[in-house]
Amino acid sequence: MNRTTEKLHEIGQSIWLDNITHRLLASGTLLSYIRELSVTGLTSNPTIFDHAIKNSNDYDDVIRRKLDEGKSGEVLFFELALEDLRQAADLFRPIYDRTDGVDGWVSLEVSPLLAHNTTGTLAAAKALHSRAARPNLFIKIPGTSEGLPAIEEAVFAGIPVNVTLLFSGEQYVAAAEAYLRGIERRIAAGLNPDVGSVASLFVSRWDVAVAERSPTSLRNQLGIAIARDAYEKYRALLDSSRWQRILNAGARSQRLLWASTGTKDPHASNILYVEALALPFTINTMPEATLKALAAHAEFGEALPEDSNKVLAEFAKAGIDTDTLAAQLLGDGVESFAKSWNDLLDCIASKSGTLKAVAV
């Protein structure tokens, strides 16, 4: 077991991998990450699958088989993704069982084209959850204004939810309250309140967005300050009487997850966001490069107390309106994921055409 990665678990933080590919599963690499690097879950998104299918032949046999079954487009993709994610979920199942469902999760996203469609998102979440047939698979739903009621309804229906594309403490609280409402309704209806959930706050995109406007003294500090602010709100919610009531009724805490934690600035530490956000009761979902960089470090410093309000005030003085930027980042994130989704379907269509031509 790698001592550096294990230290995060000692602090109280889970390490999840922000990647999944057929090769990662078939080669035994994911299993080695679980055994040697303390990885206890993973997340996926359309961009990950697009790159995996586009840049390799690893999925050709699966696509060919699905074509023979008459599948195409979005239907083909979800069957392909579910095959990978079921395998991953089974690898993490011992962790899920050992931690009584606290850890050991994988995630699958509904179509990003549904980000502003509450009814469509809920229907897709129910269908994917049923088809996955794994207790440790989250359905990812974006924290848009239309996504929030879908999150509440999905949780009320007993569907584990990973709330994605959150960019601020305020957006996090809105997502947490949607989760709470779903659980409170289950309790009122006499249903089991034990429905898993995480809330994913994206970090590094903040620093990319302000890279050209940040004073040198504040470079690469905004994403961390925003995350720390969200963490303070998270801990306050966990200590609230409302949260304590659902815990007493048998519910579990929705955990805060750090997403987009790969360092984008080549001049900064390659584990910048790992060190700064090594905080208990959280998850860090890391790209493979960041996971390997962490494992290569002999040691890393624990997160030090930080006055996030002071840092945010300095950015305000520099003319950066974080409320406006948070809304912009959410909108940009939805557009980016939608583009990746369309690219993914184009890639599948192109590869399907190629495979059909070869088969003739």
- Reported as a single tens digit per residue, the pLDDT across 1-18 is 898 999 999 999 999 999
As a whole number of angstroms, the distance between CA 212 and CA 210 comes to 6
pLDDT > 80? residue 72: yes
- Strand-pairing partners, residue 13, are 282
331 C-beta neighbours (distance < 10 Å), count? 14
- Strand-pairing partners, residue 164, are 142
Amino acid occupying residue 352: S
Q: What residue ranges define each of the domains in the chain, with the CATH number in brackets?
A: 3-17+101-344 (3.20.20.70)
CB 183 within 8 A of CB 193: yes
Q: Which residues contact 17 (CB under 8 A, 6 or more apart)?
A: 30, 33, 39, 41, 42, 43, 285, 286, 288, 291
pLDDT > 80? residue 336: yes
Q: Which residues contact 261 (CB under 8 A, 6 or more apart)?
A: 18, 203, 204, 273, 274, 277, 284, 285, 286, 287, 290
- What's the pTM value of the predicted model, to 2 decimals? 0.96
Candidates 7, 54, 66, 140; catalytic one: 140
Residue 245's alpha-carbon distances to 152, 188, 242, 310, in angstroms, are 18, 12, 5, 33
Burial of residue 268 (number of CB atoms within 10 Å: 0-12, 13-18, 19+): middle
Q: How far is CA 331 from the centre of its chain?
A: 17
Q: 209-215: long-range contacts at Cβ-Cβ below 8 A with a sequence spacing of 24 or more?
A: 209/325, 209/328, 209/329, 210/315, 210/320, 210/325, 211/265, 213/318, 213/319, 213/320, 214/315, 214/318, 214/320, 215/314, 215/318
pLDDT > 70? residue 305: no
Average pLDDT value for residue range 287-297: 96
As a whole number of angstroms, the distance between CA 263 and CA 287 comes to 10
Angle at 103 between CA 220 and CA 125, to 5 degrees: 85
pLDDT > 80? residue 203: yes
Angle at 289 between CA 283 and CA 290, to 5 degrees: 35
| pLDDT tens digits, one per residue of 225-283 | 999 999 999 999 999 999 999 999 999 999 999 999 999 999 999 999 999 999 999 99
38: left (phi over 0), alpha (psi -120 to 50) or beta: left
Residue 105's closest CA among 214, 194, 15? 15
The pLDDT assigned to 360 comes to: 53
CB 160 within 8 A of CB 199: no
pLDDT > 90? residue 59: yes
Assess whether 66 carries a catalytic annotation.
no
Amino acid occupying residue 307: D
Please state, rounded to an integer, the average pLDDT across all residues of the chain: 95
